Chain A
Amino acid sequence: MSTINFANREINFKIVYYGPGLSGKTTNLKWIYGKIPEGRKGEMISLATEDERTLFFDFLPLDLGEVKGFKTRFHLYTVPGQVFYNASRKLILRGVDGIVFVADSAPNRLRANAESMRNMRENLAEYGLKLEDLPIVLQVNKRDLPDALPVEMVRAVVDPEGRFPVFEAVATEGKGVFETLKEVSRLVLARVGSGA
């Protein structure tokens, strides 16, 4: 990774995976890391506790390649989902270009989904951003749970107006993981140079 020619023009984007505790944000990144070929990814960094709960963030750099002379790279981050880690969660949102909100399908986590979305809105507001200002994709994860709530019910709680694209996922099996990342990347790229 140290041979990057910075004399070349380079564009970097920051994508953050947000959501309540244990909703599967780190699992998304781990799956992506496992599937992206060498040479297109950097090292994955996890700052986690002993029981593998994210403490500060996970980080994964991805190289898209060169487009019209612009080297294009994505940096993927997760936030710690647990309620009491808001100070570090807020730091990671700095300079974000796109967000994947990973919601949990479990019935007893419905409220946590709503809390986390509210928290995200508040944290973004501190950077002077509204939800409309950013590309946001909703991923309804853990569809394999036997008592998983209907997607529409989860969505109604975090995105009542139905503004964000929705993807169903089982991140442990990789289902919906790439689709989600691709959509948010597409939305982020669509904003480049469009003046939007």
Chain B
Amino acid sequence: MVEPTLVLYGALYEKAVEALEETLRETGARYALLVDRKGFVLAHKEALWAPKPPPLDSLATLAAGNAAATQALAKLLGEVRFQEILHQGERIGLYMDEAGDHALLLLVFDESAPLGKVKLYGKRAAEALARLVEEAIANPPKLNLDTEYREGAKALLDELFGN
């Protein structure tokens, strides 16, 4: 059964954004994203002081691809998975942790953020977000998508691709 990805919205979305906001405050990171394993952005937050982030779709897709590859690598080595991934450049670092089975937390930080805090609060945020994602999966919102939606989407397809 193929399901479209319907991302968090409503109260769960608000809670996820709050958690990301809090994590930014506690860690001093630039950007925080909750991304699903398919590479779709579920929620994101940028620190006000931080420069404009790179395209988030690209960030999310590459991170999800990276996490998938790393997990396959872990399996090859006899582990179920590596829990957290840390990429550290000269100035910018990327912290990735699992938010449950279906999502990932990404934190982008620079040298102004202490790594210990990033890891400590990143781990906590990942656990809190995992619970939100579980809740969203357990209680999928009523979509009420019907013929009207399909007709509307078809019209947009015609507009974009021509008849």
Contacts and interface: CB of A to CB of B under 8 A. Distances in A.
Interface of A: 1-2, 4, 6-14, 36, 40, 42-43, 45, 47, 56-57, 59, 61-62, 64-65, 67-68, 70, 72, 75, 87-88, 91-92, 94-98, 133-135, 178-179, 181-182, 185-186, 188-194
Contacts of B56: 1-2, 4
Interface string B40-78: 111110100000110111100110010011001000000
A43 B53 CA distance: 14
Contact of A67 (B14, B46, B61, B156): B156
A14 B38 contact: yes
Contacts of B160: 36, 40, 62, 64-65
A117 B138 CA distance: 35
Contacts of A11: 4-6
Q: Which 6 A-B pairs have the closest CB atoms?
A: A193-B145, A95-B38, A67-B152, A91-B68, A12-B5, A182-B161
Interface in B1-47: 1-2, 4-9, 13-14, 17, 36-44, 46
Contacts of B43: 6
B162 interface: yes
Nearest to B73: A87
B153 A72 contact: yes
Interface range for B? 35 or more
- Which of B36, B40, B42 is packed against the most chain A CB atoms within 10 Å? B40
21 contacts: A4-B41, A4-B56, A6-B41, A9-B9, A11-B6, A13-B5, A14-B39, A59-B57, A62-B160, A64-B153, A70-B145, A75-B61, A87-B72, A91-B72, A134-B2, A135-B2, A178-B162, A182-B157, A188-B2, A189-B150, A193-B150
B72 A57 contact: no
Nearest to A63: B160
A8 B160 CA distance: 22
Contacts of B5: 11-14, 95
A155 to B, nearest CB: 23
Contact of B57 (A9, A43, A94): A43
Given A97-B4, A189-B153, A192-B4, A178 B161 contact: yes
Contact of B61 (A10, A45, A178, A193): A45
B90 interface: no
Contacts of A91: 65, 68-69, 72
A6 B42 contact: yes
Nearest to A87: B72
Contacts of B52: 2
Contacts of B72: 87, 91
A174 to B, nearest CB: 12
A123 B8 CA distance: 29
Given A36-B160, A64-B157, A192-B149, A94 B37 contact: yes
Contacts of A47: 65
A166 to B, nearest CB: 18
B13 A6 contact: yes
A43 B58 contact: yes
B77 to A, nearest CB: 13
